[in-house]
Structure 1
């Protein structure tokens, strides 16, 4: 069955995310992707003028997916937002890698800017709730602390450094989420504290 333009756009984005997950963002080549999909090296130009355009689209999609997961977790408390962040990184490693490689992206792209703002809006909203209850004094530092904690944990797990240090949790992927919950709980409340205590 011949591919439609929409199919090709989706396939290029999915393939770019797969390469980024497997080999790193630096290894994403739009020509190689086109070749692997059996289309001419110029076929991508209808959708993406360049590698930067392709990776920017992948990053924007990643931020939209991440924001949706964070928003879904928000009613359960800020701690669960952090766990959702780690879950996203585990489940979407290619998107995650691309999203946080700014040199490969067009940071002025309106779709990416809007998607990033949505993601960080959820993180900021969680800290604002904590600030309104007097649990944090410096909201900016609290956002940095929360983001650093979950992003760092996700990165250590994805890179294999957690395992290399003998700190990777035993068990399936949910063991990583339990570790994220316990680690974030040290900063923002007991994992068993419920929505207000998380």
Structure 2
């Protein structure tokens, strides 16, 4: 019988989250029950229901934890991506791919579980902070464009987010990644370059 480490060590929520993330990776966000997560964490279902009303609550907490980590990683990538605004912008794209690879359970909870980012104020704030990094990066990258010709930073950020997500889904996670003739990082970097040149935000030789 699994050891009830949640009670013994006082880390029920952490143990349950670890179990849930593993199950999300293995079975998907809808492929397990809260009781199964409790069993894998070594605690009783009754103990779990003192903290969560259902599986959706647990997945929402995983998504919140993921968005907080994700925002931290994007901010770090942007701040250390110098010497240029373009290099910093591209660094956030690479960070996106790295996060999806290193934290697949969190990534699925965030983007593939059906949990609304507005399900809790905390989740909404964390998601907005992550997108805000890309928006700030876009603002700096477009600052030299006359205001009347400047694309909205929110639009640029949304496009880069969508492009990054597409590369992750098609080429950077699991078996589909072996089908790409190019490394996902190269695909994303070249895609960002084509997009930004098309908008006139960088020169052809950048």
- Answer with 123-132 or 77-86: which moved more: 123-132
How many residues align? The count is 184
Q: Distance in 2 between matches of 1:106 and 1:183?
A: 27
Among 6, 26, 36, the residue aligned to 1:3 = 6
Among 46, 51, 56, the residue aligned to 1:47 = 51
| Corresponding position of 2:85 | none
Larger RCO (CA within 8 A; separation ≥ 6): 1
Q: Is the 8 A contact 2:29 2:113 kept in 1?
A: no
- The RMSD of aligned alpha carbons is 2.5
Q: Is the 8 A contact 1:17 1:95 kept in 2?
A: yes
Which has the larger share of helix? 1
| Corresponding position of 2:166 | 152
Q: Distance in 1 between matches of 2:154 and 2:121?
A: 24
TM-score (norm 1): 0.81
Gaps of at least 5 residues in structure 1 are: 170-174, 190-196
| Corresponding position of 1:62 | 66
Larger Rg: 2
Gaps of at least 5 residues in structure 2 are: 82-87, 198-204
Q: Is the 8 A contact 1:127 1:139 kept in 2?
A: yes
Among 137, 156, 176, the residue aligned to 1:161 = 176
Q: CA-to-partner distance for each residue in 1:129-164, whole Å, 9 max, x for gaps?
A: 12212295243431221011111111112253343x
Q: CA-to-partner distance for each residue in 1:21-59, whole Å, 9 max, x for gaps?
A: 222111132110112223211111232222111111000
Q: Distance in 2 between matches of 1:128 and 1:6?
A: 45
Q: Distance in 1 between matches of 2:151 and 2:174?
A: 33
TM-score (norm 2): 0.78
Q: How does 1:134-149 map to 2 (within 5 A)?
A: 134=145, 137-149=151-163
Q: Is the 8 A contact 1:153 1:180 kept in 2?
A: yes
| Corresponding position of 2:192 | 184
